[in-house]
Chains A and B, each alone.
Chain A
Amino acid sequence: MIVYQNVTKYYGNNIGIENVNIHINKGDFVFLVGPSGAGKSTFIKLLLKELNADSGSIKMNDMEITNLSNRLIPKLRRSTGIVFQDFRLLPKKTVFENVAFAMEIIHMSSRTIRRQVPQVLSLVGISSKADKYPHELSAGEQQRVAIARAIVNNPAVLIADEPTGNLDPETAWDIMRLLDKINRRGTTILMVTHAKDIVDRMGKRVVAIEKGRIVRDDAEGAYGIND
């Protein structure tokens, strides 16, 4: 599914990530943890081809990403759902339109869009807010919309970059339950987080990065003792 082989990325003289090797299987739920500046964001940005690796190979669904041409970047990003800490919803579009947009860019017919968007909105539990604009929603609701947008095209991988970072603990747990539900449907989830209690209680695979290197990879791990 996702394979990093000896991947290195430097920012001038500073280490982004160094010699990273990892293998993530289809259907995995992986927490990527570590202190700020450890290289978690670099890890994700390389996967989305927002940055180019200095050396090594990154494969997703057998597609080599390191030498992907600019023209194919949109295709790569479409096969990946992305959720951010700050939601990144389109402010001038309604909930329905935000989710529909992800389908419009892959040229789905409006009939398919009208059928599929309500299903996804119902899956994430915000059917009743379809006509609202993002600023009319609570943080938790906005994150649900973002998740709906990320999964509406049935991506194989869902990348969540601190999806609970802006949420209160209770709402954070709602979101985690939702992500778990999506994972059970077969979507691989790669989640960057600082939320110790969440990582500890979920009991999923934990990959810890420090100073650009993978220092721990536990199949059913915890956040870590020192953090």
Chain B
Amino acid sequence: MIRSIGYAIKQAVTQVFRNRTMTIASMFSITAMLLILGLFFILVVNVNLASENVKKQFDSIQLYLLETTDKNTAQGMIDSLNSMPEVNEAIYVDKDTAMQEFRNSWGNKAYLLDGVDPNPLPNSIKITVSNLEDADLVVEVAKTFQGVEDIKYYQTEVNQVLKITDYIQVGALVIIVFLIFVSVVVVSNTVKLTVLAREREISIMKYIGATNWFIRGPFLAEGMLIGCFSAILSAGLISFIYYKICELFSLRALALLSTSLVPLNFLIWNLVWIFISLGVCIGAFGSIVSMRRFLDT
């Protein structure tokens, strides 16, 4: 058994180098598939992260207080809000802090706000809910408070964003499954070409008395080896591409979508394992599928 496996691996390595053209052809097709697959994977992971961020950022409710509402009244509201299990945290934001935050969000154009005096922003209470679905309940309670000018929250908007990201994720997953299927077909066709080129060889092996698994072994190992090489190649390429994307868009993504990209390191190591297992499986499955016809006695 061990001797057979050793034999298969040794033969596969020899074949991979002897049939360089075929090896490279197969490697290119698997690599291309994995690259597209990888890009969708990156998309899914980032959309996931973005939707998490959106949830986190907009799970808050703002209560804008009237000028006449004093700090003690506000504290009363905060206390009663904090006693609700649906509320994660309720804090008082005075108008100066609000202005400062506003200035920060304008970045280096904050000087434009210099002329805005007196500060037009109201004092407010910022409520973070534990669960976005409970926001309505909290708002109902907040509406009963005296001294509140306006209540702002983004449940509808957030839900819309989450729905869109859901669609993107499901769509990408469907495409990924489809691509895996396509790569098995492409690989099995490429391997079929190698097998076809060696049909005579296989028939000779059978004449000498080789078992089907003995014949299949080296092809299987060859497929897996090619799959593995392709996985490493495409993981390398994807890393490079993603590194460039991060370099170019990281800041812009932060500014536009108020979300950051998934860190390169985290993504690469996951991608390498996914690609290697996927590449090896695609290679193995492709070999077995393509050899079926040639091994009928």
Contacts and interface: CB of A to CB of B under 8 A. Distances in A.
Interface string B1-45: 001100100000000001000000000000000000000000000
B210 A73 contact: no
Contact of A109 (B3, B209, B211): B3
B3 A77 contact: no
A26 interface: no
A147 B7 CA distance: 24
A70 interface: yes
Nearest to A92: B18
Interface string A64-88: 0000001001111111101000001
A149 interface: yes
B201 A75 contact: no
A10 interface: no
A79 B208 CA distance: 9
A104 B209 contact: no
Contacts of A82: 207-208
A102 interface: yes
A77 B204 contact: no
A82 B204 CA distance: 10
Contacts of B297: 70, 73
A77 B201 contact: no
B237 interface: no
A151 B297 CA distance: 23
Contacts of B3: 107, 109
A105 B209 contact: yes
Contacts of A77: 206-209
Given A73-B297, A91-B201, A92-B201, A105 B207 contact: no
A149 B208 contact: yes
Contacts of B208: 77-78, 82, 101-102, 105, 149
Contact of A105 (B200, B201, B214): B214
A90 interface: yes
Contacts of B210: 74, 105
B264 interface: no
A13 B286 CA distance: 41
Nearest to B6: A110
27 contacts: A70-B297, A74-B206, A74-B209, A74-B210, A74-B211, A74-B214, A75-B209, A78-B208, A78-B209, A82-B207, A89-B204, A90-B201, A90-B204, A90-B205, A91-B201, A92-B18, A102-B208, A102-B209, A104-B7, A105-B205, A105-B208, A105-B210, A105-B211, A105-B214, A107-B3, A109-B3, A149-B208
Given A92-B18, A101-B205, 7 more contacts: A48-B207, A73-B209, A74-B210, A77-B206, A102-B209, A104-B7, A105-B214
